[in-house]
Amino acid sequence: MSASFVPQPVAIAPHRIHPETRPGMVHLKVASLERQVRFYQQVLRLRLHWREGTRAGLGAGGADLVRLSEIPHGRRYRGVSGLYHFAILFPDRRELARAIARLMELRWPNAPTDHIMSKTTYLDDPEGNTIELYCESAEDGFFGVEGEEFVARRADGSLSDGREPLDLRALFAYLPETEPLDLPIPSEARIGHFHLYVASLEETLHFYHGLLGFDHMGLMRSFRMGMVSAGGYHHHIGFNTWQGEGVPPPPPDALGLKYFSFVLPSADEMARLTAHLQHVGVPFQQRDGELVLHDPSRNELVFTLGEVR
């Protein structure tokens, strides 16, 4: 892969978060635990790790990737901050092909898309939470931010809008016809990134980059979107103001995001981050060894060294 296809941070904070920090899982508030568990098991083929009363955890056999909590009388709201989508990263094109082929066999609506540097599809769960399924394809080209504009280039140098229809014939060539579609999600699958609705691009960038120390991967003002990451990845957190500038947080009975988590690589990094948050005055709570905080749009973020419930 050419080095030119590797995204470069716009800026790295002097108190940079550890480059090995990675997305952990997403916790969703749901109206029907039974229906949601059935979807994530049967459609996405996640494994049910545990179920206790009105809560459940699912994933690829290791740490939970998705947690669900049923709440009474929950509603979906528009014009508020929260989760735009969360993304599950597959290890290769074959596993993504299997997932998309299964969606089509089940006639589950989805939108296969070629972002050049990744191949993806988007779908909604039964309660309207949007999910991205993707694999990396950096050998095909690049997407990122130049100046304050989004740019996507194919490997031959030609420009793309980064939202082309995915060539499913080419993708399905990676999946042997004899392989079943109903296999469990591969154990290597993990959360690749989160994308949030926020009230302000500038305040959000200041919080995640200026205060927490994520790498600034680009701000696209005309597109009303920004990206940050740990370790120079193209994005671990995307954020946009597509629900409107200055939107309020959702009320307590809102369905959707409860919190999302990042896993820190060591106890030393947890101690460093804790001390840094105290130094810069970011409010947080300590809960069973984890750090719990809220961004300026009241999206809840948990830093952990392992599983979080």
**Taking a C-beta distance cutoff of 8 angstroms, is the pair 190, 202 a contact?**
no
Note the pLDDT tens digit of each residue in 187-244: 999 999 999 999 999 999 999 999 999 999 999 998 999 999 999 999 999 999 999 9
Q: Given this model, what pLDDT does residue 107 score? A: 98
Output the average pLDDT for the chain. Answer: 95
Q: What is the pTM of this model?
A: 0.96
Q: Say how far apart CA 163 and CA 225 lie, in whole Å.
A: 15
Q: Side chain identity at 206, as an amino acid letter?
A: H
Specify whether the CB–CB gap between 276 and 15 falls below 8 A: yes
Domain assignments of the chain as residue spans, ordered by start: 3-304
Instruction: State yes or no: pLDDT of 308 exceeds 60.
Output: no
Counting beta carbons within 10 angstroms of the beta carbon of residue 178, is it exposed (0 to 12), middle (13 to 18) or buried (19 or more)?
exposed
Average pLDDT over residues 236-255: 97
The amino acid present at 31, given as its one-letter code, is A
Neighbour tally for 255: CB within 10 Å: 20
Average pLDDT on 235-260 reads: 97
Q: Tell me, what DSSP letter sits at residue 5?
A: G
- Provide the strand spans (E) within the chain: 22-30, 47-52, 55-59, 64-70, 82-89, 111-114, 118-124, 130-136, 141-146, 149-154, 159-160, 164-165, 190-197, 215-220, 225-229, 237-240, 256-263, 285-287, 290-294, 300-304
**CA separation for the pair 274, 292 (Å, rounded):** 10
- Which CATH fold topology does 3-304 show? 2,3-Dihydroxybiphenyl 1,2-Dioxygenase; domain 1 (3.10.180)
Q: Which two tokens stand for residue 305?
A: 């060294």
